[in-house]
Structure 1
Amino acid sequence: MTTRAELTAKLDDFAFQKVNFGGFLMNKRAKNSHALWTRNSDKGVTELAILTTRDYGDGNIYDVAAFTLDGTVPSDVQRELASEAEALADRINLREHGYVYNQLEPWDGGGTIWISKKPEFRALSRPDTGIFVIPIQRLYSEPRWLAWVRENGQLHTAIVYKP
C-alpha cells in the first residue's frame, strides 16, 4: 500500500506526474503541474474522504469528497458533511458540478475555470478549520489521494488516480 510520504516523493518525478496528469497537449498539464510542484515547498498529499457518490450510468460516476491538508477529516465532521453533501446532491445535479482535477490547479477554480462558477458543493468547505470539499467527476477508480500545493495563498489540487 502506498503512503502519503511515498506519493509526495513520487510527485517530484516528472515521469510520475506524466502518468497521472499527462496526455493532453504534449503533456502540458504534467509540465505545468510539475513546475508548480517543484517550485513550492508548501505541498503534500492527503487522503480523500468520500462523502457521497452518484452513478449516472455508462461510467459517469461523481463523488463529493472532503480533505484536510495535514491528516484526515475528523469522523464527526465527516458524518455532518456527508449528510449535507447527500442532501445537496438530492437537490441539485452533481453531474453538472463535478470536475476531474487532473492537474494541479486552483481547488476553487480561481475564477478562471468553469468549476469556479459552480460553488455549491465547495461551499460545504470550512477553510477556517482546514477542511475542504470538492465535487469530483471520476476518471478511473474511486479517488483516494489528492496532491496539493499552496502558492501565493492559493490552494491548488489534483487527484492522483495512479499511485
Structure 2
Amino acid sequence: MRPFKAVGLKAVGLKAVGLGTAVALAVLLGGGPATAAAADHHGEAVFTLVSQATGETVVDLDGNGFSPGDYVVFTDDLFRDGVRVGSDAGSCTLIDVADGGTSLCVVTVHLERGDLTAQALTRGILAGGPDSFVAAITGGTGAFVDAGGEVIGTRVGLSSAELEFHVSR
C-alpha cells in the first residue's frame, strides 16, 4: 500500500525507516458512516476521508535490497474537513520484484463506532507506488460488523491520500 522506494528512506541494519513517504495502498480505510456527512447510495454509505502518514518502517529482511518477503508497516491519521476522525495501521508484504514490484497490503482502520479492515494486491510498489488504487473492504467490528465494499484511493501528496469509501452491509 505504501511504496517501498520512499523519499527520505534511510537504511539501518536490516531495517529502513522513513516518515512522510508517498501514501498509496497502505492507507485504505477511514471514518465511515460514523459521521453525519456519509451519503446513502443504494444501501451503501459513501464518504471521503484524507489520510496523513504518521509513521512507517520498511524492513529489508536480508539486507541486500528488496526481495519477496520484505515488508513495510505504517500508521496514519484520518481526517474529514480538517478534523481527525480516526487512525489506521497496516502492512504490505513484497510478493514479487518484477515490473515495479507487487505487494499484498492489509489495513485496519480504527473509528469511534468500530473498526474496518481492507486488503489489496498493489502493483508498482517499488517504483513509487500507484497514484490511485482500489481495495476490498473485508469486514469490520462494532457498527461495521459484516461490512463489505471498496475503498478508492488517490494520492494527493508525498504523505497523504484522499480515500473514497463505499461501505455496504
TM-score by length of 2: 0.26
TM-score by length of 1: 0.27
**Structure with higher helix content:** 1
